[in-house]
Amino acid sequence: MFIPHTQEDREEMLRTIGISNLDDLFQDVPAPHRFPDLNLPPALTEMEVLQEMQSIAVSNESMEDMICFLGAGAYHHYVPSVVDAIIRRGEFLTAYTPYQPELSQGTLQAIFDYQSLITALTDMDVSNASHYDGSTAVAEAVAMAHANFRGKRNRVVVSPALHPHYRQNLRTYNQGSEIEIVGDEDLSSLSKGPEALEDLIDLNTALVIVQYPDFFGRVYDYTRLADKVHAAGALLAVSVNPIALGLFTPPGKFGADIVTGEGQPLGIPLSFGGPYLGILATRMEYVRKMAGRLVGETVDNRGQRAYVLTLTAREQHIRREKATSNICTNQGLMALAATVYMSTLGKHGLRQVSELCYHKAHYAARSIGSLPGFSLWSDQPFFNEFVVKCPGPVDEINMYLLSEGILGGYNLGNDYPELANHMLIAVTEMNSRDDIDMLADVLAEVSND
């Protein structure tokens, strides 16, 4: 199958090495522990394994079986066929990190294309070649800001409307550091918006982090916050949903210094949470503090334009314990997927998807918000997600929706106790008017019960 050796090959190779059997290769391994019996299921053929995998896969309910209104950081969008056709090509799929540029111009130029699209979308100067996901990109923004002030500013102000997983991750990453994370546990400010963060910004603040649209789907103009942040000499990081940037003003325009984001909506399937794509972009002045790989343009010795990994002296393989980050392997293939997606949709297509999400979400909000017992939690402008207060526990409502073939929204009570009975509903271009009407009809039955 995957090991091509014949019996003769093996014998000849052992003879060449001067040993008589394969076991002799492992003399350095302590004898008492050598060759353990592994308690694993026996081997299957390809035909059998496919059957087994199919039977496991169909025991899930997937978007093939349900109408999806669940988002909360991962979204069900249409992925054009061209995306998978390109990323499945062995030339991209089975190449390593482009350390030898003469043999990797395909990967390198595709990353350069990716960096170009991300900077255009976010209105930043530079994008790295990708980070793991939306949560780790935020964690790196903290490290960048901390390094930018040479460790002299230790406060990070975080919006409570940043994705709960990202906030948890920030704490994990910083448990060994002197960084103090404030702001996100003050839940009384949930309904207030970004002004609530202003009082927390002081001269020890390195970074302020907000989300755009925020975890509850709300869209704020952060211009005033950016001014306050900059007046204190600190940096502003904005975590984005890239699809929203097809419609809304990009963060670069209102003064963001670092833009992070979850790139999954850009042509990457839900796949139970990964692999996704961490977007990390910034202004040129902070490029040397940035985590991860960067591709730069140059020329070769034949005078041709060509691409190469650059500013590598920031990275772990050169700088070791002084590196900006420990990241090595990133999300290369997912960045390629996003590149193919953004270039296929282009200027018009991305705007169209954003508008579809926007209009359908607003239609859904109007329909559901007017049901007896249901009400919209916020009147702030929103993109494709909104919060509704429900007449009962969200998990119970969701069980009922499921029985009707609908995957309901996210139960906010999981993360925000004061938002028990509040559901976060996501709508994308995948939801037809009929789907939305059906959701409203079934919810109406709930409120009548």
Partner 1 sequence: MTEPLLCDLSVPGRIGMRYPEPDVPLAELPVLLRQDLPLPELSEVDVVRHFTHLSKLNYNIDQGMYPLGSCTMKYNPKINEDTARLPGFALSHPLQPIETIQGNLLLMYELQKWLGEIGGFAGMTLQPAAGAQGELTGVLIIRAYFKSRGETKRTKILIPDSAHGTNPATSAMSGMQVVELKSDERGNVNLEALKSHCDETLAGLMLTNPNTLGLFDENVIEVCRLVHEAGGLVYGDGANMNALLGIVRPGDLGIDVMHYNLHKTFSTPHGGGGPGSGPVGVAAHLVDFLPYPVVDIIEEGDEDMPPLYGFVQPKQSIGRVKSFHGQFGMMVRAYTYIRMLGPEGLRRVAEHAVLNANYLMHLLKDYYHLAYDRPCMHEFVVEGQWDDAPEIHALDISKRMMDYNLHPPTNYFPLIVHEALMIEPTETESKQTLDKFVEVMREIAREAHETPEVLKSAPHITPVGRLDEVKAAKELVLCCGVESIAD
Ligand X SMILES: Cc1ncc(COP(=O)(O)O)c(C=O)c1O
Binding site for ligand X (CB under 6 A): 328-329
The least distance separating partner 1 from the CB of residue 421, rounded to whole angstroms, comes to: 17
Q: Give the span between the Cα atoms of 172 and 117, in whole angstroms.
A: 31
H or E stretch including 47? helix 46-58
Residue 270 lies near partner 1 (rule: CB under 8 A): yes
Instruction: Give the DSSP per-residue string, 183-234.
Output: STT-GGGTTT-THHHHTT--TTEEEEEEEES-TTSB----HHHHHHHHHTT-
Say if strands 258-262 and 278-282 run parallel, antiparallel, or are unpaired.
antiparallel
The least distance separating partner 1 from the CB of residue 180, rounded to whole angstroms, comes to: 14
User: Do 254 and 223 contact (CB within 8 A), yes or no?
Assistant: yes
Q: Output the six-digit token pair for 283.
A: 């202004």
Residue 38 or 231 having the CB closest to partner 1: 38
Taking CB within 5 to 8 Å according to partner kind, which of partner 1, ligand X, none is near residue 308? partner 1
Question: Taking CB under 8 A as the criterion, which residues in 276-335 touch partner 1?
Answer: 276, 284, 287, 293-302, 304-306, 308, 310-311, 315-323, 325-334
Site size for partner 1 (CB under 8 A):
201
The least distance separating partner 1 from the CB of residue 419, rounded to whole angstroms, comes to: 15
- DSSP code, position 278: E
One of 45, 188, 203, 417 touching partner 1 (CB under 8 A): 45
The least distance separating ligand X from the CB of residue 97, rounded to whole angstroms, comes to: 8
Residue 232 or 345 having the CB closest to partner 1: 345
Residue 402 lies near partner 1 (rule: CB under 8 A): yes
H or E stretch including 182? strand 180-182
Residue 53 lies near partner 1 (rule: CB under 8 A): yes
User: What is the edge-to-edge ordering of all strands in the sheet holding 385-389?
Assistant: 375-376, 385-389, 422-426, 410-411
The helix/strand/coil state of 371 is coil
Taking CB within 5 to 8 Å according to partner kind, which of ligand X, partner 1, none is near residue 180? none
Residue 22 or 328 having the CB closest to ligand X: 328
Say if strands 126-127 and 278-282 run parallel, antiparallel, or are unpaired.
antiparallel
The answer to whether the peptide bond before residue 242 is cis (omega within 30 degrees of 0) is no
The least distance separating partner 1 from the CB of residue 437, rounded to whole angstroms, comes to: 10
Q: Report, in angstroms and rounded to the nearest whole number, the Rg of the chain calculated over CA atoms.
A: 25
Question: Taking CB under 8 A as the criterion, which residues in 117-136 touch partner 1?
Answer: 117, 119-121, 125-127, 129-130, 132-136
Question: Taking CB under 8 A as the criterion, which residues in 9-38 touch partner 1?
Answer: 9-10, 12-14, 16-18, 22, 25-30, 33-38
Q: Output the six-digit token pair for 293.
A: 């790989």
Taking CB within 5 to 8 Å according to partner kind, which of partner 1, ligand X, none is near residue 37? partner 1
The least distance separating ligand X from the CB of residue 397, rounded to whole angstroms, comes to: 41
The helix/strand/coil state of 376 is strand
Residue 98 or 232 having the CB closest to partner 1: 98
Q: Give the span between the Cα atoms of 399 and 353, in whole angstroms.
A: 30
Residue 58 or 328 having the CB closest to ligand X: 328
Taking CB within 5 to 8 Å according to partner kind, which of partner 1, ligand X, none is near residue 140? none
Q: Give the span between the Cα atoms of 96 and 333, in whole angstroms.
A: 11
The least distance separating partner 1 from the CB of residue 142, rounded to whole angstroms, comes to: 11
Buried b (16+ CB within 10 A) or exposed e, 127-166: bbbbbbbbbbbbbbbbbbbbbbbeeebbbbbbbbbbbbbb
Taking CB within 5 to 8 Å according to partner kind, which of ligand X, partner 1, none is near residue 159? none
Amino acid at 113: D
Residue 77 lies near partner 1 (rule: CB under 8 A): no
Say if strands 410-411 and 422-426 run parallel, antiparallel, or are unpaired.
antiparallel
Quick note: the x/- pattern for partner 1 over 83-112, rule CB under 8 A, is -xxxxxxxxxxxxxxxxxxxxxxxx-xxxx
The least distance separating ligand X from the CB of residue 281, rounded to whole angstroms, comes to: 21
Which phi and psi (to 5°) does residue 385 adopt? Answer: -140, 145
Question: Taking CB under 8 A as the criterion, which residues in 202-221 touch partner 1?
Answer: 219, 221
Q: Give the span between the Cα atoms of 158 and 138, in whole angstroms.
A: 10
Taking CB within 5 to 8 Å according to partner kind, which of ligand X, partner 1, none is near residue 91? partner 1
The least distance separating partner 1 from the CB of residue 310, rounded to whole angstroms, comes to: 4
